[in-house]
Amino acid sequence: MRLIVVLPALLLAASGLRAQEEFPTAAPTPHPFITATPPVAAEPPTTAEPPAVQASPAPSPVTVEPDRSLRSPDAVVPQAKVSFADAAKFLAGLPVPETSPLASLTRNPQWITHANAMNAAFATLEQRQFASIRGWRAEVLSPVSQASPVCLYLFSGPDFLYPSAFYPECRTYLLQGLETADPLPDLSATPPAALLNALQDAETALNTVLNFSFFKTKDMRTDLQRGQLKGVIPLLFVFLARSGNDVTGLDYVSLDRNGQFLDGRGGATRGVKISFLNSGSGAQKVLYYFTADLSDDALKRNSGLLRFYESFGPANVFVKAASYLMHEAGFNTVRDYLLTVSIAILQDDSGIPVREFTPDRWTLRFFGTYPGPISLFAKFYQPELRQYYQVSSPKPLTFGFGYRWSRHNSTLMLAVKK
């Protein structure tokens, strides 16, 4: 499926999570230029009107003249080292310097189609979501989040877009998922045809998150193992580049069972450290992603990830579309951990149950509305949360968040530790 088919759904709310194996049976209204039949998507909101936000200028489409010699790309990419920044831009459909070994491939019609679709999709994402998120963040979240330079986002998968939008001032982003961070091959030694095919592989891997606003684990395990660019790193690169960042370093790392940080992949918990420079602020930042199971049983055997992330100090905790795992008895450890290490928690109703935020320790603010969970998660309805919404008259949201992709039905809660 071409990216132009699936990408517009990203405009609603791309977010990584540990996804369930089933989905509701109704699909959201597709963007006008979606031409293929999407897979079954999340339950629609009661109001179909999209968020009305001020449009931002769309990026200019890529108009470079196609290099006809690359229609069947058998030419060899010059054997010069491809920088991580260039690799991220290439995958994200952004221009690379003419001196880059990848420059010639960006004149291929396949890459140009990819780039134009990405430009259109992210322009709409800016219009429908991120312009409003930035305004809300400046008014509500920024006074709280400035207390810590760390954003902790468990059950994230490779989603960097939303923590970047809500916490742009953070210098460290701590992510986790079930998907692996496979080593990225040397792109200077990768056949051009394989690199161009990687665009298709990336589109396939993004299909579910862009249609449903979250990752589906059983599909990701297959999608992220196609082709030569495997695992979450290509997706992280796309999101980093499209968030205005230049990737400056990529290190394969791991943790022992005590949370000791190790160079290389020899530890019990494997992951990746990505260093990047934000082009807007000039700030040097770092993202950690580790593959880990956060169930109670798994953490009894190996709690290295939680110990390592705790070493970064109090954090801004972000939880989105988390499958209500922390509502169940099998995820008590990670739930209590987040309550302990956080200075504040921003989440939808799928995160930590509201009953866990006792008035003596937390100040709660609510936004949007609470229609209850989508049908798949109906058993996790929270009467206490309904009562909070009834008595507090929350401000409406101007952007969608979580499983309820419409701003008219989204639930958002900010819990600040006293």
Stronger pLDDT, 230 or 383, i.e. the higher one: 383
Mean pLDDT of all residues in 200-213: 57
* Predicted pLDDT at 34: 27
Residue 251, token pair as written in the block:
């290190």
Neighbours of 57 (CB within 10 A): 8
Alpha carbons 159 and 289: distance in angstroms, whole number: 10
Mean per-residue pLDDT for 102-124? Answer: 89
Q: How far is 122 from 131, CA to CA, in rounded Å?
A: 12
Poorest-confidence range of 89-103, 218-232, 238-252, 264-278? Answer: 218-232
Task: Please state the rounded mean pLDDT for residues 349-362.
Answer: 97
Q: With cut-offs at 50, 70 and 90, classify the pLDDT of residue 187.
A: confident
- How far is Cα 153 from Cα 247, in angstroms, rounded to an integer? 20
Give the pLDDT of residue 64.
Answer: 44
121-151 pLDDT per residue, tens: 888 888 888 999 999 999 999 999 999 999 9
| Residue of higher predicted confidence among 38 and 188 | 188
Distance CA 320, CA 413 (A): 11
Angle separating helix axes 233-242 and 192-212, nearest 10 degrees: 80
Arithmetic mean of pLDDT over the chain = 81
CB atoms within 10 A of CB 399: 24
Q: pTM of the entire structure?
A: 0.82
Q: What whole-number distance in Å separates Cα of residue 337 and Cα of residue 333?
A: 6
- How far the first Cα of the chain sits from its last, in Å, is 49
Q: Is the pLDDT of residue 56 over 60?
A: no
Structure tokens given for 406: 């419409």
- Check: CB of residue 401 under 8 Å from CB of residue 368: yes
User: Is a pLDDT exceeding 60 seen at residue 13?
Assistant: no
pLDDT at 78 over 80: no
Percent of the chain predicted with pLDDT > 90: 62
In this structure, are strands 269-278 and 261-263 parallel, antiparallel, or unpaired?
unpaired
Neighbours of 408 (CB within 10 A): 19
Q: Is the pLDDT of residue 266 over 60?
A: yes
Residue pLDDT, tens place only, 231-258? 899 999 999 999 999 999 999 999 999 9
Give the residue-averaged pLDDT of 288-296: 98
Number of domains forming the structure of the chain: 1
Range of the domain at 280: 3-417
Q: Taking residues 192-203, report their average pLDDT.
A: 77
